[in-house]
Structure 1
């Protein structure tokens, strides 16, 4: 009796990895506005500082939920990983810190 097994899922190549897989606290990111929260949509995106990364239920080492502080308002929000669209370069983070 032979058992059929499904093939192992392929890991994405580094060029096509989701952005959120590399996020860590201290990074500055661009977040897409989530219209499902019931807030008025004043803008399409906002910039924030990652404060905390929370792992998923299936694999806690893969972060799927982030606590991010809006750099304009200071409001801290929990953000789903798929809403993070860009990570700003570290050099820009250093320049912002030096200017403050």
Structure 2
């Protein structure tokens, strides 16, 4: 009988791949910044794709929920997406054309 002793590794998608306008996001860099309280929450207003891959977001226009300030951030600055109000993302990227 063969037994597989390999370690299962699951690579999760980057959280920014599923962000759409209206979503709430946590912006704050790495884990050290979050533990120090150096993070903020914002609501996404607009998603901008890159020149090479226009369907993959590279910049977000985000409104800070505390101050109301509107900021442009790089997509990799999003450390988490708040899914509790709108459910989990589908398995396909958000920029897939809607069938209708």
Task: Tell whether 2:19 aligns with 1:23.
Answer: yes
Counterpart CA distance in 1 for 2:70 and 2:26 is 14
Give the aligned partner of residue 54 of structure 1.
48
Give the aligned partner of residue 77 of structure 1.
71
More displaced 10-residue stretch of structure 1: 82-91 or 23-32? 82-91
Unaligned runs of 5+ in 2: 1-9, 30-36, 87-100
The higher radius of gyration belongs to 1
Counterpart CA distance in 1 for 2:69 and 2:81 is 19
The structure 1 segments of at least 4 consecutive aligned residues displaced by more than 2 Å after TM superposition are: none
Counterpart CA distance in 2 for 1:91 and 1:52 is 19
Unaligned runs of 5+ in 1: 1-13, 34-42, 93-100
